[in-house]
Amino acid sequence: MPGVVWAVLLLAASAAAQDGADGARHPSVRLGDVRLELLARVQLDARLKADAVERDEETPGLDIGRKRVGVRGRLARIAAFEVETELEARDPWRDVYIEYRQFRSLRVQAGHFKVPFSLDYTTSSAKLDFIDRSRAANTLAAGRDRGIMAHGRLLDDRLEYEAGAFAGRDTKAVRLAARPFGARRSAGRALTAAIAYTHGALDERLVDSVWVKGSRRRAGVELQWQPGPVALTGEYMRAADERLGQGIGGENLAPLVRTGWYGAGTWAVRPALGSRRPRLELAARVDGLRVGRGGAKAGTSFSPRAAVVAGRADQALTLGVNWYLGSRVKLQANGVRDRHAGRARWTPLARLQVVL
């Protein structure tokens, strides 16, 4: 394991022992109105073989899921920036942006960051309730891109908006989140509902060899309710990709439609967020992804250039336990039940996450 990983692990373990409080403060320096924070995170993942069914897509074993370092800064209340990179990655840059943030109702962010679509995807991997994101988020979210985005909160935080334009695929994105009962936490007021939409250009081959060309339209709906130690979250997403000129004779084909959803719940067994005691959280999620239309009936063509892409659906159940050791160390254990080659299987996963 590279030395930098050990250094982060040891430093963070030490910090955890001293700190122990949730809502950790990162190591920082202040130079007048400028405040700089050092960011570092390591996620160590153990992925074990599912019950006698070998996973084709992932090799069982131990690996380092993420090794990220970065720096974040603020200039008074006017501007902020963040630079975060993944060590030893082919495409290392994660969030690299500057932000004008003088007003709560209008902030402008420019650089390389996540397109505002899907709650699951835009939630930092350090804060996820499960080791892996839902299939829907992994497949249908828009990823990171270079762009500019305006965002802010209005009406006493009851309405939050994000609207941006991104260069990579000429994507326009908008997300509106409403807290109809206000932002403060109480049983009635902990409800957030959001809708999101993106429109972009594409010309690419998807994983299952289907060529898509033209525009991609995504639409999503999110719901969150966190009245107390129990939190419920759900999302539905739909992506429709045009297939212009993708027929065998160059004719236009029906768009490829992919839909995904999940419903998740967590229960903080030791709910004291601010306490110094370890916190245990139980989590469960059901998620699904569907590609194409209709079923796989006899005679259905699975050709990537068929007039209509035959439907394929995939679902999974994830059960998990999250154990927070202070604010910097989190242990996660998940069991994922899905189907592979027609057989149901359980795949155990574990993650040790250390944040500096």
Partner 1 sequence: MARRAGSAVLSAAALVAGGAASAEGQSADLFDPTVVHEVRLYVNARDLHDLRARYQENVYYPADLHWGDVTLRNVGIRSRGRGSRTPVKLGLHLEFGYYATGQRLRGLAALDLDNLWQDPSMLREYAAMALFARMGQRAPRESFARLFINGAYQGVYAIVEPIDAAFLTRTAGGADGYLFEYHWLDPYELTGVDSDLDAVEARFERRTQRSVPRASAYAPVVDMLRAINAGDEERWRAGVDPYVDLPQFLTHIAVEQFLSEHDGLTGYDGVNNFYLYRPAASTRHQFLPWDRDHAFHDARSSIFLRAERNVLLRRALAVDDLRAYYLAALARCADVASREGWLEGVIAAGAALIADAASEDPLKPYDAAAHAAAVQHLTDFARSRPAWVREAVAGVRAAPAGRRH
SS3 150: strand
Give 135's contacts (C-beta < 8 A, 6+ positions apart). Answer: 260, 262, 287, 288, 289, 314, 316
Tokens 């989190």: give the residue: 330
Count, residues near partner 1 per rule CB under 8 A: 16
Nearest one of 194, 209, 315, 205 to 260, comparing CA atoms: 315
Q: How far apart are CA 211 and CA 209, in angstroms?
A: 6
Among 303, 313, 343, 344, binds partner 1 (CB under 8 A): 303
Among 85, 125, 252, 300, binds partner 1 (CB under 8 A): 300
**Residue 311 CA to its chain's centroid (Å):** 25
Among 246, 259, 332, 347, binds partner 1 (CB under 8 A): 246
Among 217, 305, 312, 345, binds partner 1 (CB under 8 A): 305
Among 269, 271, 275, 302, binds partner 1 (CB under 8 A): 302
Q: For residue 204, state whether it binds partner 1 (rule: CB under 8 A).
A: no
Give 282's contacts (C-beta < 8 A, 6+ positions apart). Answer: 266, 267, 269, 320, 321, 322
Per the structure block, which two tokens stand in for 239? 């992506």
Site for partner 1 in 51-110 (CB under 8 A): none
Q: For residue 334, state whether it binds partner 1 (rule: CB under 8 A).
A: no
Q: For residue 301, state whether it binds partner 1 (rule: CB under 8 A).
A: yes
Q: For residue 342, state whether it binds partner 1 (rule: CB under 8 A).
A: no
Q: For residue 274, state whether it binds partner 1 (rule: CB under 8 A).
A: no
Per the structure block, which two tokens stand in for 245? 């000129």
Instruction: Give least dist CB 251 to partner 1, A.
Output: 7
Q: How far apart are CA 41 and CA 24, in angstroms?
A: 13
Residue with Cβ nearer partner 1 (174 or 306): 306
Of 137-145, 158-166, 246-254, 285-293: span binding partner 1 (CB under 8 A): 246-254
Residue with Cβ nearer partner 1 (137 or 212): 212
Residues in contact with partner 1 by CB under 8 A are 211, 246-251, 298-306
